[in-house]
Structure 1
């Protein structure tokens, strides 16, 4: 089993006390659904898009399991080109 963090209320919000070895830099984090029902992935907030450098930095933050088979299973049927002289 992994390391356990504590849940607590802060006013009307719910918060998570993160163990020291998993602390983030900055002031914001990003939540997204995990691969299994009920799982949540918490990660550093991705830099604002707009530069290729930001794009490539964000690519390294995506776990490999999210990219597996991303484009491998899409169907690409045969496309017939129209005859431009017809």
Structure 2
């Protein structure tokens, strides 16, 4: 929690499938730091427009994802690409 710098003020959007082992880190680490966790649905995690809407709706400050997901967001014209997420 110290290295990524998660705090009570952070909101993490979780896009990792719960069957993948990194999901435990994605869920429990923010909660242990007092941050908020928002679970993306499968549809939201695969659709740039829906995912961008989720990030904006919850004012997400953190998202751990694959390069392909980041590329999907950037290719869609996601305006928050230069922000810390």
TM-score for the superposition, normalised by structure 2: 0.26
Structure with greater contact order relative to length (CA < 8 Å, sep ≥ 6): 2
Higher helix share: 2
Larger Rg: 1
Higher strand share: 1
TM-score for the superposition, normalised by structure 1: 0.25
